[in-house]
Chains A and B, each alone.
Chain A
Amino acid sequence: MWHLSALPVVIPFLVAPVLVSVGTVVPRWCEDATAVVVALSAVTICLLLAVHAASEPFAYWMGGWRPEHGVAIGIAFSIDPLGAGIAAFAGVMVLAALAYSLRYFDAVGGLFHGLMLLFLAGMVGFCLTGDLFDLVVFFELMSTVAYALTAYRIEERAPIQGAINFAITNSIGGYAMFIAVAMLYARTDELNMAQIGAVLDGHPADALVIVAMVLLLLGFLTKAAAVPLHFWLADAHAVAPVPVCVLFSGVMVELGIYAVARVYWVMFAGAMAPHTDPLRAILVALGATTAVLGAVMCVLQRHIKRLLAFSTIGHVGMFVCGVGLLGAKALAGVAVFIVGHGLTKAALFMICGILLHRFRTVDEYDLHGRGREVPVAGALFVVGGILLAAPPPFTEFQGKALIEGSASDVGYGWLLVVFAIVSALTAGAVLRVAGRVFYGWGPREGPDPRQARAAQERVDETREDRGRTPPLMLIVPGVLLATGVVGGLVPGAVAWVARSAARFADHPAYAQWVLHAHSVHWPPAPPMHVETIDVIIGMLTLVAAFGVAAAGLFGRPLLRRLPRRVRAGGRGAVVGLRGLHSGHIGDYIAWWTTGAGLLGGACLLALR
């Protein structure tokens, strides 16, 4: 088992250059098959590692450079069940994206497949590594691949702009992380995260540690798209090709959240112990703002991919809240929620791909009623919308209920309401799209001129005749949704995640097994009792989601009855909110700086 540890990263590394080099010569099916086999092997190995690590987590020292005199001098993969599990999930997403693009995507030589495999390697390495600088390296690998893939359709204008905004914002986040690495190295003489944590433990956090933590969080939260670092996300997700969106929304963004949890629990949990309350307040506030802004923007969209992108921001906000609660139970909830959300969101993007394939546009109004031609896709879209509302007893509900339970334990019961609103709004927006596009409900309206222009520029992403939808394009999202429905119901699955999360969050034990290979005494899994109130609220959220959808479809006459002043105010707020998302990189970085300054200032003031 030990010997397999490096392979889920190394196998894609070995195959990607070959695919890129011979891509123009070998037939397409060859590339497809190779890429699928590689992804499959990575998933298998990660699952094996996760299962093994569940009984005994271990550190794998690259080059055999084990710690000398208790000082880590090499780079380790620290393999714990949660990290390996998330890595496996990333692999599953890559596999799904590859399977979906088999019949759909016009790949350029072997470049697409090669980049997808590098993306896989980047994500898996990011999940497994236990070294701070290595974490940054894999972060950059993931990012570099992602920038290129975003602009895959170079013949269109929007992807170029989206990729530029994405690349600049994320690079700046990366630079902040480099400075954080230098600061932590200067303080602790170490780069291994477990060791950094051990050194930081005994001392109260001073300005250096706080600022280093803030800079690291800035990097990860830029990737995770927390407000106000989030502007790139909608741009990039709206324009990237569908299989790439699947990876972005399904797992890449969530890895930012994962990394926040990782660095907090491994490095800062000890030093921050006296300040958990203010830190929790800061992170929850950040998460709640993100969630609400994402949900509101989501409802305002008519470009379906952009709508889904904002819904991801809404969910990211909930994840940030979950991690920000700084408890093992909430962390377990986040992990479950991430998997459920990833599966659902990936499937929804794939159905968008079907629309794009068939009608060359994803403008909700332009597609009014045209979706009737693909009834199965419509049914799947509705299922996805319902799942997004996290109704009991499915996977997402289970995760959300854990977070909510944990929130009320530490006095953040009001998060329940925020979560319900955000879920209802995002799911409602998706259901509204489903009603309008696939069932032709609601009034008609002309196409959006800008999207119409984009549709003209659009060169087919596909090789297939657009008259019929390849069955695989329906099967893959179907399978993902089915997994999302069933996953949380498998007996013991959620309990396994909860146990893993408890281990992940056991700060002292982590240093023990990484640095000294000691077997440790494990904490008990957090109790996973689901309150009745959560079930009731969950059902109500679903009803509210249908309400939001109905209001979006038929509510315009009602809107006109509102007093003029209210309408004008509402319109002003909407225009202002939209105006923020200007697509201008200067604006985005000005906001990024604002976020950085505010987060830094808040932490410096509150955590000392």
Chain B
Amino acid sequence: MRDDTALWDAPRDPAAPIDLGKAKLTRVQLTRQTLVSGPNVLQQTDLPLVDWPGAAPAGAYAAILRRDRVLLVNAPEAPDGWNDTAQQATSDVTDAYTVFDLTGDALPFLQRGAEITPDIPSRSVARLLFGLGVFLYRLDDGTTYRLHVPRAHAEALIQHFEKAASHT
């Protein structure tokens, strides 16, 4: 029985912005994140659809995850479960993903984690970054990159960016 507590850095207070030198990682507290799946969900949503590289507006929007799934950001509350009229499945996942905005000279940081370029669009914002599953897209300012990472991997993502910062 081995106590490995000291092997692992204590998780940072995610509320404090993280200075990466040429970039900055800031925690974003979203009102709500909602998974909505359905055969026609991309046509049904009346929120702006966001893909890669994308341009997410300030208010509510729908980030495309799959051909039949979106992540609604800051959308009105909706009941979890199956909506037979809309043929949609809904789950509140507000606390499942930690959300960061990466500002500054962001692309070199992202390119350390994946073969990634805004020049190659994608219909989905879901990808692997540093081997971690993330949702990644740009805000409509054209420079800020927004990342949703599963909460349990937020600390790992921060560490990856900090390691990248030591090389940029």
Report if A and B associate in a common complex: no
B residues bordering A, Cβ < 8 Å?
A: none
